[in-house]
Amino acid sequence: MRFGGLTAVRSVDFTVNAGEIVGLIGPNGAGKTTFFNCLTGLYVPTEGTVSYQGTVLPPKPHLVTKAGIARTFQNIRLFANMTVLENVLVGRHTRTKEGLWSALLRGPGFKRAEKASEERAMELLEFIGLAHKRDHLARNLPYGEQRKLEIARALASEPGLLLLDEPTAGMNPQETRATEELVFAIRDKGIAVLVIEHDMRFIFNLCDRVAVLVQGEKLVEGTSDVVQADERVVAAYLGEPFEPTPEDTQPAAEAESTTSTKGEAQ
């Protein structure tokens, strides 16, 4: 992904399997959020394509969501004047089949679909611990609960891959711990989770593997111990110059499914 003369993302390729949590870290400006934006259709890659489970995805966010990829944002993007329940129901729109005429006529089929969506939304609110606030306006929730609600809205689309962009930004230690437990619970449902985060303690406690992005390229990928011991990672965070070699961008291990923006991003 290029912006004028700046290449923000180049040849990023790594694996996230079902029921696995992978972290994506790197200094500010490394290209992490840009990578997410390419995957979810907010940006159209300058070169190459994005594919998920072998299917090339069009650069349209609603079609990416329908294909099974959901995300949260670095800055909370809830519908502030809608209730907690209504925010989650918005996330169900890609999984309902009722069209305009069905909504206008409000026949039996529409009412069944509406009831099913509300039941599923309430299940998700129970899951994140906000069922008792279903009728509260989103803007009136504490910051940590707004973060949880955004995750519930993403889960409402029934994703196979969940992208979390700095889910603990601005949280206190108690809220961070609660978010960690929530992500573990999501993982236990068999959902693949990819997390961008600057809180190193959080990311290394949470993730099965961690990939490090520097200057738009993957520097290293491996377990928490491998990444923390890599001198290149330390140098990158201290601002020392880094010149990648072909070996630096090779994945640490091969696996069954891949997410990338490399020529053909998988």
**pLDDT band of 176, cuts 50, 70, 90:** very high
- Its domain, for residue 137, covers 69-158
- Asked if the structure places residue 83 within a domain, the reply is yes
**pLDDT band of 8, cuts 50, 70, 90:** very high
Q: Where are the beta strands (DSSP E) in 120-216?
A: 161-165, 192-196, 209-214
Q: How far apart are CA 48 and CA 214, in angstroms?
A: 20
Q: What is this structure's pTM?
A: 0.82
Q: Residue 103 half-sphere exposure, CB side, CA atoms within 13 Å?
A: 6
- Asked if the structure places residue 33 within a domain, the reply is no
Q: How far apart are CA 172 and CA 3, in angstroms?
A: 35
- Asked if the structure places residue 40 within a domain, the reply is no
- Asked if the structure places residue 131 within a domain, the reply is yes
- Asked if the structure places residue 246 within a domain, the reply is no
Q: Where are the beta strands (DSSP E) in 44-191?
A: 49-52, 55-57, 69-71, 161-165
- Asked if the structure places residue 139 within a domain, the reply is yes
Whichever domain contains 102, its CATH number is 3.40.50.300
Number of domains in the chain: 1
- Asked if the structure places residue 189 within a domain, the reply is no
Q: What is the pLDDT of residue 235?
A: 84
pLDDT at 262 over 50: no
Identify whether the C-beta of residue 110 lies closer than 8 Å to the C-beta of residue 98.
Answer: yes
Q: What is the pLDDT of residue 41?
A: 93
Q: How far apart are CA 95 and CA 87, in angstroms?
A: 15
- Asked if the structure places residue 171 within a domain, the reply is no
* pLDDT tens, residue by residue, 92-140: 877 666 555 455 556 666 667 778 889 999 999 999 999 999 999 999 9
